[in-house]
Amino acid sequence: MDLPDDHSPEQQRIRSIYRDWLADERIAAYAWHRADIIEQDAARRRVAGTLLAQTLGPDLGKLRVVDVGCGTGGFLRQLVDRGADPCRLAGTEYQEQRLVLARMRSAPGIRWHLGDLDFAAPGSFDLAVANTVFSSILAPHARAALASDMWRSVAPGGWCMLFDFRYNNPRNPNVRRVTRDELRQMWPAAESRYRSLLLAPPIARRLARAPRIVAELLATLAPPLRSHFIYMAHKPA
């Protein structure tokens, strides 16, 4: 991967932002036990699971997957729970602290890589995933480079999968939304799937104490209030 590299201004900016975020009290807003976070996680698992079954099939045992910006490995652990072989899974991450936690919490056999996708041979995966990664990259050329590397790493007939933001956060200049036009430009897909999900976090937090059906109805009946999306792009066979 040529951009971003360890010495690029964009890469240094991203590293600095995440170091500050991990040390900031704001991380408490994403604690796993919060009612709104539990609901968001359930919705995300449901939509992602449905799309994976529709595109790659219900049997994940032979699936080769790389999670780009894997964090502490949560998505890969979900795949293992659903039948994926840990020895066929890999995760990349720029924050070494997160990889330490990923190794500690995850099944043996998963490959963990500190850095870019440069370790992956062309066509070595059936699925390349990036969860809230592209919105953290502000430079268009860096986004394009990462998209190109993900596409290169996927075998013909494989898929790229993104979970990310539909809207900008006016309070956070370090996050920029990913538009549908960008998605179409990044990958010359033979087929694609797009699903919006999750109530915008400020709304979800305010409804945390309300009956669950209130948030579910609002998310169902008012799609513009959904803050995230999952997109899958199929590489031509």
pLDDT along the chain (237 residues), means of 10: 49 58 54 72 93 96 97 96 98 93 96 94 97 94 95 97 95 92 92 95 84 88 95 96
Q: Please report the DSSP string for 58-69 in residue order.
A: S--TT--EEEET
Rounded distance between C-alpha atoms, residue 59 and residue 62, angstroms? 8
Rounded distance between C-alpha atoms, residue 132 and residue 228, angstroms? 9
Do residues 78 and 45 touch, judged by C-beta distance below 8 A? Answer: yes
pLDDT at 19: 58
pLDDT tens track for 56-99? 999 999 999 999 999 999 999 999 999 999 999 999 999 899 99
Q: Hunting for tokens 């993104």 — which residue is that?
A: 162
For CA atoms 155, 100, 41, 24, give the dihedral sign: negative
Residues 6+ apart with CB under 8 A from 64: 88, 89, 124, 125, 126, 127, 155
Do residues 154 and 186 touch, judged by C-beta distance below 8 A? Answer: no
pLDDT at 122: 97
pLDDT at 3: 36
pLDDT at 1: 34
Rounded distance between C-alpha atoms, residue 4 and residue 72, angstroms? 21
SS3 for 92?
strand
Do residues 166 and 133 touch, judged by C-beta distance below 8 A? Answer: no
- CA 13 remoteness from chain centre: 19
pLDDT at 64: 98
pLDDT at 56: 96
Do residues 40 and 204 touch, judged by C-beta distance below 8 A? Answer: yes
Do residues 66 and 111 touch, judged by C-beta distance below 8 A? Answer: no
- Helix segments in 124-197, DSSP class H: 140-153, 180-186
Superfamily of domain 9-234: Vaccinia Virus protein VP39 (3.40.50.150)
pLDDT at 221: 92
pLDDT at 2: 35
- CA 231 remoteness from chain centre: 10
Which run of H or of E encompasses 52? helix 35-56
pLDDT at 164: 97
Do residues 91 and 115 touch, judged by C-beta distance below 8 A? Answer: no
SS3 for 53?
helix
